[in-house]
Amino acid sequence: MTDIRLDIEDFEHFNYDLEEQAYMFEDHYYDSDVEILEIMLEMKKDELNNLNRHKR
């Protein structure tokens, strides 16, 4: 079992655009930061899985 979590640095990868009234992450707008956090966690899981596959 592996504990995967977001770090403080991860929260620096998205911001809130006052003009658009939406969050921006990787050139896309989102209504909620929860969507972004879920995406970021999935990215971390995929990254870890890819590392584990290459170690075998």
Q: How confident is the model at residue 20 (pLDDT cuts 50, 70, 90)?
A: very high
E strands in the chain: 14-17, 22-25, 28-30
Dist. CA 46–CA 49, nearest whole Å: 5
β-bridge mates for residue 15, sequence order = 24
Dist. CA 4–CA 44, nearest whole Å: 7
User: What is the average pLDDT across 19-47?
Assistant: 96
- Average pLDDT over all residues of the chain: 92
Dist. CA 37–CA 45, nearest whole Å: 12
pLDDT of 1: 76
Q: How confident is the model at residue 56 (pLDDT cuts 50, 70, 90)?
A: low
Residue 52 predicted with pLDDT over 80: no
